[in-house]
Structure 1
Amino acid sequence: MTAPLTPHDHSSHLPPYPGSGGSGPGKGEDRTKAVLSEARRGALVALLVTVCGIALGLLWLWLSPRVPLVSDGKAVYLKDTEGEEAIGGDGTFALIAAGLGILTAAAVFWRYRRGGVGVVLGLAAGGVLASVVGWRLGIWLGPDTDIVAHATAVGPKVVFDAPLELRAKSALVAWSVAAMVVHLVLTSAFGPREPEDDGKGVPPEAYWTPAAPPPAPPASPDSPPDEPPSKE
């Protein structure tokens, strides 16, 4: 009497299916390291972009049109009531911020060509922080924000400059918007491409296991043994 054959399991000898994400002791550690590396990269980008906000404040202070004011000794008035200098100040800030956003996006793409979520978030957050730094720095270095004290110091009938003011706060996102658009375009046009899978890299045997043959029925003790074929 023979024992039934036990089908052999071939699955343990096959390579894992690509993308199946097999569990292993190093999988969690590798993923944690990748996340931490991405976070550090994004924080570094945000910090460096924020420092560039100093350039925004200096350029805004230099290029922004001045709003002339004059005092009669009792009140302060606009010297030119039909002037557009105030609106020009907001536009100048937005244009400078957008230009710096383009430059920082190009620099970040040159340094981190593969991109990544951390780099993109660093660009977005750094652009907003840099705009806030440039805005406050320009006001701090610009004309006196106390208009009454400034008018009293210069005297009546003397023209003086109004303090810098950003009326359209939406200009604070011009840096981030420009940086995100440019970085997306550069990544799409010049970023590394993932190799296309043509299906030839892995043999079909790696994805399926042939069915095991059914076990042979046990031999009966009363059945005669198989006779060898007769030779004629």
Structure 2
Amino acid sequence: MRFASLTVVALGVLGFGAGLLWVWLAPRAQFTVTSADGGLEVVGGGLVDPELFMADDGVYVLLMAGLGLIAGLAVWSRSARRGVVALVGLALGMVVASVSAMQLGSLLGRPPSDEQLSTVGAVVTTALDLNMLAALAVGPFVAVLVQVVAAVVAGRDDLGRPGTDLVPVAEPAVAQAPAPSGVVAQARPAGPTIQE
């Protein structure tokens, strides 16, 4: 249980790092304010809005898939801790990481203020936001998939944990009922008997 809790906390912290990477790597368009009523002009012919949204989501999905892959392999490498509790901790930790990365990215990549939009000549940058909320499931899915594939490849019921070598179970002995008192059991010959 302690290992699962530490996994959740560690992945939550790594989620903030993924959020910083998302802010740094995601493409964002810059505009120059051309009029006080919020008229904008694209600086340097950047991406149009739909392409920009897809690119932001794509960078986020790749970052979360990479973090899920690394986290899944790291948890599996702790061979003494393999099992259901570690798997639940990993999945929950990746959910926390995904949400914290999205929240930090949205906070640092917030849209321009009304004051910036009313200042003629100011250069403003588009907001960073996750438009496809299903992307939050990518990290946990990849992390759990790594665990499932590793368990299948391990091919052992104990998942390869040290000190848990399986001992073959002996077949239970079949007890024979004692013969009633005064009756002597006689051995019968094998095979069919011929009656006269």
Counterpart secondary structure, 2:160: coil
Distance 1:149 1:170 in 2: 33
Q: Report the equivalent of 1:52.
A: 14
Q: In the alignment, does 2:143 pair up with 1:179?
A: yes
Counterpart secondary structure, 2:31: strand
Displacement of 1:62 after TM fit? 0.8
1:1-232 → structure 2 map (5 Å cutoff): 39-71=1-33, 72-77=35-40, 79=42, 82-83=48-49, 84-112=51-79, 115-142=82-109, 144-152=110-118, 155-190=119-154, 191-192=159-160, 195=166, 197=168, 202=170, 206-216=172-182
Q: Report the equivalent of 1:26.
A: none
* Amino acid in structure 2 at the alignment position of 1:94: V
Distance 2:12 2:107 in 1: 17
Distance 2:80 2:151 in 1: 7
Distance 1:53 1:126 in 2: 9
Distance 2:6 2:182 in 1: 68
Look at both structures and tell me which one has the larger radius of gyration over its CA atoms. Answer: 1
* Percent identical residues: 29
Alpha-carbon RMSD: 2.5
Displacement of 1:156 after TM fit? 2.0
Residues 94 and 174 in structure 1, CA contact (< 8 A), matched pair in contact too: yes
Distance 1:50 1:82 in 2: 33
Distance 1:166 1:77 in 2: 23
Q: Number of matched residues?
A: 171
* Amino acid in structure 1 at the alignment position of 2:15: G
Distance 1:78 1:118 in 2: 54
Structure 2 residue runs without a partner (length 5+): 184-196
Distance 1:48 1:81 in 2: 35
* Amino acid in structure 2 at the alignment position of 1:88: A
With the length of structure 1 as denominator, give the TM-score of the two structures: 0.65
With the length of structure 2 as denominator, give the TM-score of the two structures: 0.75
Displacement of 1:146 after TM fit? 4.6
Q: Give every structure 1 segment of 4 or more consecutive aligned residues whose post-TM-superposition deviation is greater than 4 Å.
A: 193-197
